[in-house]
């Protein structure tokens, strides 16, 4: 995320009005500043801080910092932002004044702040349920996508992403999210239906045998546990892919939020993991931030090196023989082709399936001539096109078969 000392300072000053005497209002204001900087903080965490603040000597700055950090931050990546915000917010003067006033907040319930916090939480819930209701409404209309009739919608579904204007792309983004959600729920439903397995379930065998007075007559079998497949997405965000990658990330975002075990990476000349970044509700803003903060967004491509980073740092723990790796790229590679080939080979050894999505594949006269694509071809299980909404639907179906 793009956090500079300036953004920290402005976040801290924007909550200045909420600060007051005593620890609790200050901690709440601090939590609000953290929220603005993209660190998720819940009300219960803030309450825990106020509960634990009497346990340590808050005059000892490092201890107080450790206390706040352990309570309010829950991933290492947020530590630098937290530290900046901490230093900026708890400056020496306010800090020295504070310990004297701690005791009084224990006794007096802070009238102005408690309802405020409650409001916030309530507001959130309200907004969430509203969003849910909207989603449900739209979900019902979703089947339209599958019906091959003529409609403006249908036209849009066939239109290449690269030809879309701003308005259209918003509409498409919404549609993509709905499709992703729908596919994901179908997948999770499928998991429940299993074939009759071959292991005996003692718990239920026992239960059934009660009605025969304890004689085991019926054997109850346990349904075969369906092994879950993970999906790892590697998305090319170099310049040549600009008009496609946003949509694809959005699609993966939809899947990721519904499915277990989806990991998302973007690469151009280097590779970055963005799984945690796109796990927010507000995907549009998240995308802005990602594209701003990632080195080489819309730049050149080095697929081989990016794959090398992935194979070395992430593949050992993420890719098993149950993982489907989806690579989205047009295959224009400026790096070392032999490295690309070696890394593809390595990845192939680990993964269950490798799917390569190439938006250029749709054009009639496209042939995978560029060296990078040619080097990768032998290691692919599927080579598909993604250039419009319909192709995303068929990708969804393919994934569904593999994952379920």
Site for another protein, rule CB under 8 A: 40, 42, 44-45, 48, 51-52, 55-56, 62-63, 65-67, 69-71, 73-76, 79, 202-203, 205-206, 209-210, 213-214, 216, 225, 228, 260-261, 263, 275-276, 279, 312, 317-318
Shortest distance in whole angstroms from residue 169 CB to another protein: 29
Among 49, 28, 37, smallest CA distance to 6 is for 37
Q: How far is the CB of 181 from another protein (least distance, A)?
A: 17
CB of 198 or CB of 317, closer to another protein: 317
Q: How far is the CB of 228 from another protein (least distance, A)?
A: 7
Bridge partners of 323, per DSSP, are: 230
The Cα 306–Cα 302 span in angstroms is 6
Three-state DSSP string of 322-361: CEEEEEECCCCCCCCHHHHHHHHHHHHHHCCEEEEECHHH
Minimum distance of another protein from residue 142's CB (angstroms): 25
What's the start-to-end Cα distance of the chain, in Å? 34
Looking at the Cβ atoms of 107 and 214, the one nearer to another protein is: 214
- The CB-of-388 to another protein minimum distance in angstroms stands at 32
Closest CB 173 distance from another protein, rounded Å: 24
Owner of token pair 């803003």: 285
**Contact between 255 and 183 (Cβ < 8 Å):** yes
Among residues 46 and 176, whose Cβ is nearest to another protein?
46
Q: Of the two residues 168 and 218, which places its CB atom closer to another protein in the complex?
A: 218
> Count of CB atoms within 10 A of residue 287's CB?
19
Which is closer to another protein, CB of 64 or CB of 251?
A: 64
Whole-Å CA distances, 398 to 31, 391, 402? 43, 11, 6
Residue 74's contacts (CB-CB under 8 Å, 6 or more residues apart) are 40
Toward another protein, which CB reaches closer, 44 or 108? 44
CB of 294 to another protein, least distance (A): 19
Angle CA 297–302–308, to nearest 5: 115
Shortest distance (Å) from residue 123 CB to another protein = 19
| Radius of gyration of the chain, Cα coordinates, nearest whole angstrom | 26
- Cβ–Cβ under 8 Å, residues 372 and 338: no
Output the smallest distance, CB 55 to another protein, in A: 5
Of 182 and 308, nearer to another protein (C-beta) is 308
* Residue 385, CA distances (Å) to 32, 218, 355, 366, 382 in order: 44, 51, 10, 11, 10
Nearer to another protein, 43 or 382 (CB): 43
* Alpha-helical regions (H) of 3-112: 5-14, 23-36, 43-52, 61-72, 79-89, 92-107
Give backbone dihedrals phi and psi of 68, rounded to 5 degrees, phi first: -65, -40
Which lies closer to another protein via its Cβ, residue 17 or residue 317?
317
Shortest distance in whole angstroms from residue 84 CB to another protein: 17
If the CB atoms of residues 43 and 178 are measured against another protein, the closer one turns out to be: 43
Cα 318 from chain centroid (whole Å): 15
Burial of 300 (0-12, 13-18, 19+ CB in 10 A): middle
Q: What is the DSSP letter of 311?
A: I
């Amino acid at each position: 995320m793009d956090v500079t000392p300036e953004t920290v300072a402005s976040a801290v000053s924007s909550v200045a009005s909420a600060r007051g005497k005593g620890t609790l209002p200050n901690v709440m204001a601090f939590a609000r500043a953290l929220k603005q900087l993209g660190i998720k903080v819940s009300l219960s965490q803030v309450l825990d801080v106020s509960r634990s603040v009497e346990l340590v000597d808050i005059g000892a700055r490092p201890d107080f910092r450790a206390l706040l950090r352990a309570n309010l931050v829950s991933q290492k990546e947020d530590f630098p932002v937290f530290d900046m915000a901490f230093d900026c917010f708890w400056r020496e003067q306010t800090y020295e004044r504070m310990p004297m006033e701690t005791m009084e907040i224990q006794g007096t319930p802070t009238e102005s702040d408690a309802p405020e916090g409650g409001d916030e939480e309530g507001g959130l819930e309200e907004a969430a349920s509203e969003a849910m209701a909207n989603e449900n409404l739209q979900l019902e209309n979703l089947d339209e996508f599958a019906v091959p009739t003529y409609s403006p919608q249908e036209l849009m579904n066939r239109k290449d992403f690269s030809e879309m204007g701003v308005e259209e792309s918003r509409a498409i983004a919404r549609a993509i999210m709905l499709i992703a959600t729908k596919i994901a729920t179908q997948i999770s439903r499928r998991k429940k239906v299993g074939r009759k397995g071959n292991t005996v379930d003692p718990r239920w065998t026992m239960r059934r045998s009660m009605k025969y007075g304890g004689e085991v007559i019926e054997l109850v079998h346990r349904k075969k546990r369906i092994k879950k497949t993970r999906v790892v997405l590697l998305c090319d965000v170099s310049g040549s892919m600009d008009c496609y990658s946003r949509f694809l990330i959005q699609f993966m975002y939809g899947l990721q939020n519904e499915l277990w075990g989806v990991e998302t990476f973007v690469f151009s000349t280097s590779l970055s993991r963005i799984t945690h970044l796109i796990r927010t509700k507000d995907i549009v803003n998240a995308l802005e931030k990602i594209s701003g903060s990632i080195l080489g967004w819309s730049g050149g491509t080095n697929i081989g090196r990016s794959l090398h980073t992935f194979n070395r740092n992430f593949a050992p723990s993420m890719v098993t023989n149950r993982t489907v790796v989806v690579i989205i790229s047009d295959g224009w590679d400026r790096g070392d082709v032999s490295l690309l080939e070696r890394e593809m080979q390595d990845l192939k050894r680990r993964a269950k399936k490798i799917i390569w999505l190439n938006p250029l594949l749709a054009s009639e006269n496209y042939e995978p001539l560029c060296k990078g694509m040619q080097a990768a071809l032998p290691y692919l299980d599927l080579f598909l096109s993604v250039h419009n909404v319909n192709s995303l639907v068929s990708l969804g179906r393919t994934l569904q078969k593999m994952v379920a």
